Amino acid sequence: HADDGYRLWLKFDLITNIQQRNSYTQKCQFIYSDNQEAITKTAQKELQAGLSGLLGKKILILTNLAGKKGGIILQVIQNEQTNQLAEDGFSIREENQNIVIRSRTASGVLYGSFAFLRQLQSGSSIAQINITDSPKIKYRMLNHWDNPLGTIERGYAGSSLWKWYELPEVIDQRYIDYARANASIGINAVVLNNVNASARFLTKEYIVKVKALADVFRPYGIKVFLSLNFAAPKLLGGAKNSDPMAPEVRNWWKNVTKEIYAAIPDFGGYLVKANSEGEPGPQDFGRTHADGANMLAQAVAPYKGIVIWRAFVYAADPKGDRFKEAYKDFKPLDGTFASNVLVQVKNGPIDFQSREPFHPLFGAMPKTPLAMEFQLTQEYLGFSTNLVYEAPLFKECLDSDTYSNGKGSTVAKIVDGSVDNHSLTAIAGVANTGSDRNWTGHLMSQANWYAFGRLAWNHSLSSEQIASEWIKMSLTQEPKAVATIQDLMMKSREIYVDFTTPLGLHHVMGQNIHFGPEPWLERSARPDWTAIYYHRADSVGLGFDRTSKGSNALGLYAKEVQTQWGNPDTCPLPYLLWFHHVSWNQKLSSGKTLWNEFSSRYYEGVQSVEWMQKQWNYVQSSIDPQIFADVTGRLAAQHREALNWRDACVLYFQQYSKQAIPAPYQAPSRT
């Protein structure tokens, strides 16, 4: 029967290559563990379901090993070997003719079991298997921007997975399937609700609902967190205000926290968006972000909870540079946060654009653990009609060198704590899931969820490898088709950048829903939300001067980074308009003038979408017909949108450049 994408990368269909199947079957005749923890039981169940599907016969879970050989043993044990692994790290080895999956923790055994299944799912050999793997980051989280009424802020795959009105009595099978998918890629924490948070989640009515979800996720090694509304003591508790220094307010938070932990003893903690885009926060009372964070940190500390405080803040100053705002607010607070607080920083300084330089706070707050926030949902990447594989975007940021502690102080190594010696570490992805049958709207966006989990576990994996794993488990194992789809995925983000915001142009999308182009936007509720604020087009040229002659946002980075981006003649083209106002006739390193390069990119971007359509057609015979048709339709929609972006942007900016569209491209026809 046709595949609707519901099963994600966890299909476990029968392996059709009989020789291969037999070689696996020989080594997977049973599953055994003497550990009774719930998570180990999950691992056994998952292995059983996966292997039974792949091998076409029921694989038994033994209650007594009795010296049997040829099976899989799950071992949770503290010994010399497992002590060398990070918490939740695992090894998979053949020992005395059994395959032993071993870890210090039950979660580690669960991750090892999924890693083992992945070998079989992607057709790798398990002869003499010897894998050791450890996560580099402690909290690998999804942030859901889900509202109590079931809508999702910036969600493009249906409505919320959480059916608040049915909870806690009704447990949707989908909650379990969601947890399985996360566990299979090492995700171990989820924030259930929107950062623009309703205070309602802290009420008795909702705490029991949150508990019901926490109970479902626990056997999969997943901790639950909540986003909170900083004004809750006033909104719910009848306090005079929500001043974090007021004893009444501090007590209110202590009490509500106690209630939550009474229901959910392993509750993770709080995520907070404060004094940002109209949300309440400590600054409303003349207090700092650290005052607010530390108050909450104190409330969760007795339960070993943590507070994740977001750094996404900016003031509305038409003469200022939004790029610098978070740095200005947070850098001076370095060293003042409690030890169970992380500051969560978006990958770039503005807002999840299709390309941003890394956020200047990375490397600038050595005394504070910084969590990374990526956005999986495609708010600025074409919603669910555009094929954009995000791993290259994540990697570009993670691999950027901050030079904060000499060469090699990459963003990844700031986030994993190795540069500044932090053991409390976290990475978050704003989820792209929803109630659509295939979870993510665009089936190919499942790869972004998958890639995020894999990189959160190990940021040194390559985008290519992750794509290939995902394709083999989700779409096809036919080698030519795998290569074709992998190539298409690898190029997809650059193609999107080309037909929307080439050369470092940013924030010119439609104002309200952030869809399509609106570079002409001059007026907005806030001056720093208009498009002209960002692109600064005039008769001379294009781009935001952030050098010392302009806003000097560049000055927030290490000297080496300033050298890399500071000179318009040598600044890499992808970042050019982020940092420089470049004249239309300036010759770029490509040999073309700015105008010619810029306008050509739009045309090439559209042609590249046509290329993607062609490549996709080549793989038709290797793909499930329902999935093939759906992706085909979305590529056609993407093509229509790309034409719109191209024509809108080229015509708009042409008013300033006053130059013809370069050969070989034709002027858009005016009908």
Q: Which residues bind ligand GCU (CB under 6 A)?
A: 153-154, 195-196, 273, 277, 312, 351, 379
Cα diameter, the chain:
83
Q: Shortest approach of ligand GCU to residue 496 CB, angstroms?
A: 18
Query: CA-to-CA distance for 620 and 669, rounded, in angstroms?
Result: 33
Residue 140 CA from chain centroid, whole number: 10
Residue 9 vs 312, nearer CB to ligand GCU: 312
Q: Shortest approach of ligand GCU to residue 332 CB, angstroms?
A: 22
Residue 664 φ then ψ, to 5°: -90, 15
Residue 457 vs 533, nearer CB to ligand GCU: 533
Q: Shortest approach of ligand GCU to residue 273 CB, angstroms?
A: 5
How many helices (H) and strands (E) would you count in the chain? 20, 16
Q: Which of 279, 321, 351, 356 is catalytic?
A: 351
Q: Shortest approach of ligand GCU to residue 312 CB, angstroms?
A: 5
Residue 663 CB contacts under 8 Å (≥ 6 apart), including other chains: none
How many CA atoms within 13 Å lie on the side-chain side of 518?
18
Residue 196 vs 418, nearer CB to ligand GCU: 196
Q: Shortest approach of ligand GCU to residue 16 CB, angstroms?
A: 45
**Among this protein's residues, is 351 annotated catalytic?**
yes
Residue 145 vs 175, nearer CB to ligand GCU: 145
Residue 91 vs 194, nearer CB to ligand GCU: 194
First to last CA, the chain: 45
Residue 151: how many other CB atoms lie within 10 Å: 13
Q: Shortest approach of ligand GCU to residue 443 CB, angstroms?
A: 24
Give strand ranges (E) for 325-452: 341-346, 370-375, 426-430
- Sign of the Cα pseudo-torsion (258, 260, 264, 270, in order): negative
Residue 15 vs 430, nearer CB to ligand GCU: 430
Query: CA-to-CA distance for 330 and 626, rounded, in angstroms?
Result: 49
Question: What does the DSSP assignment read for 6-31?
Answer: TTTT---PPP--HHHHHHHHHH-SEE
Residue 10 vs 192, nearer CB to ligand GCU: 192
Strands across the sheet containing 60-62: 60-62, 30-33, 72-76, 98-103, 90-95, 130-133
**Among this protein's residues, is 277 annotated catalytic?**
yes
Q: Which of 379, 390, 494, 545 is catalytic?
A: 379
Q: Shortest approach of ligand GCU to residue 370 CB, angstroms?
A: 16
How many residues are listed for the chain in this entry?
671
Buried (b) or exposed (e) across 86-101, using 16+ Cβ within 10 A?
A: eebbbbbeeeeebbbb
Q: Which of 13, 34, 95, 277 is catalytic?
A: 277
Cα angle, residue 89 at apex, residues 87 and 93 outer, rounded to 5°: 145
Residues with active-site annotation = 277, 351, 379
